[in-house]
């Protein structure tokens, strides 16, 4: 067997392993989908349209859910190509009511530099008889990509989700 066939065979085995591992990962339970929708409904963008983004994964301590408003890109005009983040209000009491029980609420402000601005709220609690750590971020993660494109005429285009 030639060397190139060995490389291809190895890559195919890696791909099969990846697919098997992905299938073996725990699926997100139905109650988590409901929690995501309930929390997303608590975001109230100020003066703009925005799309809620999230990341969700099981951990050794329960589930971790991270939520934020995605960034948008200005299309046209002097600010063409500029990325902007939506300001928003978030009702904390309504957020707490999304859980069956809340054991802790914390606000963290990481402002080591003026550009840092990584403030977030953490709620630890119980939903669907499972421990959940919810973090709501003031800014989307740097690697989250765009959520929307805002055109000069006021129209908004949704950017397809990645992954």
Contact between 66 and 121 (Cβ < 8 Å): no
Q: Is residue 13 part of a domain?
A: no
Q: Is residue 19 part of a domain?
A: no
**33-81 residue pLDDT tens:** 999 999 999 999 997 888 899 999 999 999 999 999 988 777 788 877 7
Q: Is residue 101 part of a domain?
A: yes
What integer pLDDT is reported at residue 33 of this predicted model?
95
Number of domains in the chain: 1
Closest-CA residue to 52 (of 44, 42, 40, 34):
40
Please state the pTM of the whole predicted model: 0.74
Q: Is residue 16 part of a domain?
A: no
Residue 72's domain comprises 26-158
Alpha carbon distance 76, 133 (integer Å): 40
If you write DSSP's letter for every residue of 45-63 in order, what string do you get? ESSS---EEEEEEEETTEE
Q: Is residue 9 part of a domain?
A: no
Closest-CA residue to 52 (of 162, 120, 140):
140
């Amino acid at each position: 067997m030639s060397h190139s066939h060995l490389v291809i065979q190895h890559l195919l085995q890696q791909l099969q392993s990846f697919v098997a591992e992905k299938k073996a990962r725990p699926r997100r339970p139905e109650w988590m989908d409901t929690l995501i929708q309930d929390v997303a409904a608590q975001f109230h963008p100020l003066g703009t349209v925005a799309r809620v983004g999230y990341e969700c994964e099981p951990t050794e301590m329960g589930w971790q859910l991270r939520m934020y408003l995605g960034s948008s890109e200005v299309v046209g005009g002097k600010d063409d190509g500029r990325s902007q983040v939506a300001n928003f209000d978030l009702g904390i009491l309504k957020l707490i009511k999304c859980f069956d029980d809340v054991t802790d609420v914390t606000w963290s402000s990481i402002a080591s530099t003026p550009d840092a601005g990584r403030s977030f709220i953490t709620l630890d609690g119980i939903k669907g008889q499972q421990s959940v750590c919810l973090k709501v971020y003031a800014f989307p993660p740097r690697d989250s990509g765009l959520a929307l494109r805002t055109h000069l005429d006021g129209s908004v285009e949704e950017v397809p989700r990645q992954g």
